[in-house]
């Protein structure tokens, strides 16, 4: 904290205030802020003016935080006020702002010895909320013992988008919502800090971190993570779609964070999709003119060793998503180019590391392609077949054939149409 004495500029400060303003600009700045500047959307608890650098700041500073003040420019004092949310650590090394970690769980006891200690190294227990779907292995008891908040729901009520949206609505006062899955283990004590640092850019409304292969992962499993989560960070915005195509809206709620205000502003997570609620929300944010950040420095251990049948079912669900949310492909391009790139990259990777896995990869690719194409044509299939082919059978149990036959009137599609229309105006 800088003091008001012995500064190289003329300042005026009241004896009972921390505000330091250039004397010749004090009155005009106050008038301009009152008449022309909109009221900041966030609460301002304290204001510090960096006199020696002539930087005007508006800082929300939690008690006990270590704050790093950004610059507005050395020679452009008081041109505008910048509301800065304080994504900082407390002295104990944990996140100390309006943040909540949300974890949907179902029988998470097997993952608990690795998951819980890694999470508690980053946040306080009262900053964690579990949405549990009637676990039978003691997950609720483990969470309560750790000091986590727990909300229990029926298994039949679980939906990838609807459950996460329900959690967001339960936390109206939080600024940042971080979503994890029960098998995503934070790689270090600073991973959440690195992820949230992306919000220093005021245009970033969502961020997701890198998922690295779990220890002991096979070559096919490791390549899938290396391909989808490279070692270089990037910003995904509307201008990126020519270069990235459908990858522009790639995102994963296994390790992601959102500004709650922006999330609710685009309608929140859709509650009626088979999965891919993170992709749809990222698309809505980008079409609204915002940015999504991929933060390669923030890592979790998270990967899966799927069987051929599981790959078929997963890609069937992806095909259903693209069939029912056709606007994603219309706005950001098809998935064929990305699938071809993945296949060629996988072959090169296996040639260098595990040539014996190439036959399995070829068969696996065939199952993926078949599952995806059947999913794109899900309107031709009976409800029983869809339930059998899907990795999310409960999604189909909650719907009738009549509901499934018309995907154009889904709320997620309607919200996205409104977002696109507002963006183009």
CATH number of the domain bearing residue 292: 3.90.550.10
Q: Could you tell me if residue 331 is inside a domain?
A: yes
Residues 255/101, Cβ–Cβ less than 8 Å: no
Q: Which residues contact 47 (CB under 8 A, 6 or more apart)?
A: 18, 19, 57, 58, 59
Do 357 and 252 share a structural domain? Answer: no
Average pLDDT, integer, range 400-406: 45
Domain termination residue (choose one: 290, 305, 320)? 305
Asked if residue 261 and residue 177 are part of one domain, the reply reads yes
86-100 confidence digits (pLDDT tens): 344 443 345 556 799
145, 248: one domain: yes
pLDDT (mean) for 98-124? 95
Domain contains 240: yes
Query: Are residues 257 and 135 part of one domain?
Result: yes
Residues 277 and 328 in one domain: no
- For 285-324, how does the pLDDT look when each residue is reduced to its tens digit (9 = 90+)? 999 999 999 999 999 999 999 999 999 999 999 999 999 9
Whether pLDDT at 416 is above 80: no
Instruction: Assess if residue 381 is contained within a domain.
Output: yes
Mean pLDDT is highest, among 4-13, 93-102, 103-112, for: 103-112
| pLDDT for position 339 | 87
Residue 189 within a domain: yes
- pLDDT at site 337: 82
**pTM for this prediction:** 0.74
On whether residue 255 sits in a domain, the answer given is: yes
Residues 139 and 179 in one domain: yes
Q: Are 319 and 329 in contact (CB under 8 A)?
A: no
Looking at the fold, whether 144 and 246 belong to one and the same domain comes out as yes
Same domain, 321 and 284: no
Average pLDDT over residues 27-48: 43
Mean of per-residue pLDDT scores for the chain: 79
Task: Give me the pLDDT at residue 133, please.
Answer: 95
Q: Are residues 132 and 245 in the same domain?
A: yes
Asked if residue 425 is part of any domain, the answer here is: no
The model's pLDDT over 209-245, given as tens digits with 9 standing for 90+, comes to 999 999 999 999 999 999 999 999 999 999 999 999 9
Q: What's the pLDDT at 89? A: 40
pLDDT of amino acid 201: 95
If asked whether residues 281 and 316 sit together in one domain, one would say no
Q: How many domains does the chain have?
A: 3
What's the chain look like in SS3?
CCCCCCCCCCEECCCCCCCCEEHHHHHHHHHHHHHCCCCCCCCCCECCEECCCCEECEECCCCCECCCCCCCCCCCCCCCCCEECCCCEECCCCECCCEEEEEEECCCCCCHHHHHHHHHCCCCHHHEEEEECCCCCCHHHHHHHHCCEEEECCHHHCCHHHHHHHHHHHCCCCCEEEEECCCCEECCCCHHHHHHHHHHCCCEEEEEEEEECCCCCCHHHHHHHHHHCCCCCEEECHHHHHHHHHHHHCCCCCEEEEEHHHHHHCCCCCCCCCCCHHHHHHHHHHHCCCEEEEEEEEEEECCCCCCHHHHHHHHHHHHHHHHHCHHHHHHHCCCHHHHHHHHHHHHHHHHHHCHHHHHHHHHHHHHHHHHHHHHHCHHHCCHHHHHHHCCCHHHHHCCCHHHHCCCCCCHHHHHHHHHHHHHHC
Domain co-membership, 123 together with 214: yes
In a domain, 190, yes or no: yes
Phi, psi dihedral angles at 342 (to 5 degrees): -65, -45
Is residue 207 pLDDT above 80, yes or no? yes
Tell me the residue range of the domain where 235 lies.
99-305
Provide the CA 178 distance to its chain's centre, in angstroms. 7
Among 86, 119, 137, the domain boundary falls at 86
Residue 419 in domain: no
Decide if pLDDT at 402 tops 90. no
Do 3 and 39 lie in one domain? The reply is: yes
- The answer, yes or no, to whether residue 256 has pLDDT greater than 80, is yes
- Binning pLDDT at 50, 70 and 90, where does residue 28 land? low
């Amino acid at each position: 904290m800088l003091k008001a004495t012995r500064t190289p500029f003329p300042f005026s400060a009241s004896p009972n205030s921390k505000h330091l303003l250039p004397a010749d600009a004090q009155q005009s700045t106050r008038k301009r802020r009152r008449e022309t500047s909109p009221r900041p959307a966030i609460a301002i608890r304290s204001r510090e003016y960096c006199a020696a650098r002539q930087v005007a700041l508006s800082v929300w500073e939690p008690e006990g935080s270590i704050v790093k003040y950004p610059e507005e420019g050395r020679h452009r004092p008081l041109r505008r006020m910048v509301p800065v949310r304080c994504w900082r650590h407390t002295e104990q090394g944990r996140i100390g702002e309006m943040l909540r970690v949300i974890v949907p769980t179902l029988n998470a006891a097997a993952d608990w010895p690795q998951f819980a200690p890694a999470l508690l190294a980053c946040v306080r227990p009262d900053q964690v909320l579990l949405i549990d779907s009637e676990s039978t292995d003691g997950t609720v008891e483990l969470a309560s013992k750790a000091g986590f908040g727990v909300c229990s729901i029926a298994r039949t009520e679980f939906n990838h988008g609807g459950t996460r949206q329900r959690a967001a609505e339960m936390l109206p006062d939080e600024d940042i919502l971080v979503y994890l899955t029960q098998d995503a283990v934070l790689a270090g004590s600073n991973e959440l800090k690195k992820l949230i640092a992306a919000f220093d850019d005021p245009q970033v409304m969502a961020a997701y971190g890198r998922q690295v292969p779990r220890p002991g992962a096979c070559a096919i499993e490791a390549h899938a993570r290396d391909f989808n989560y490279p070692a270089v960070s990037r910003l995904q915005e509307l201008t990126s779609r020519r270069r990235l195509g459908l990858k522009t809206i790639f995102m994963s709620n296994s390790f992601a964070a959102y500004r709650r205000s922006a999330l609710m502003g685009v309608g929140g997570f859709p509650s009626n999709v088979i999965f891919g609620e993170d992709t749809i929300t990222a698309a809505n944010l980008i079409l609204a003119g915002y940015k999504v950040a991929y933060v390669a420095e923030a890592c979790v251990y998270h990967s899966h060793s799927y069987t051929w049948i599981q790959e078929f079912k997963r890609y069937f669900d992806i095909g259903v998503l693209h069939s029912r949310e056709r606007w994603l492909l219309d706005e950001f391009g098809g998935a064929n180019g990305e699938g071809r790139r993945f296949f060629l990259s996988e072959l090169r990777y296996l040639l260098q590391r595990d040539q014996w896995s190439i036959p399995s990869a070829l068969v696996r690719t065939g199952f993926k392609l078949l599952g995806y194409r059947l999913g794109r044509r899900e309107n031709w299939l009976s409800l029983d077949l869809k339930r059998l082919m899907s990795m999310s059978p409960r999604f189909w149990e909650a719907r009738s054939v009549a509901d499934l036959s018309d995907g154009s009137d889904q709320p997620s599609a309607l919200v996205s149409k409104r977002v696109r229309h507002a963006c183009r105006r």
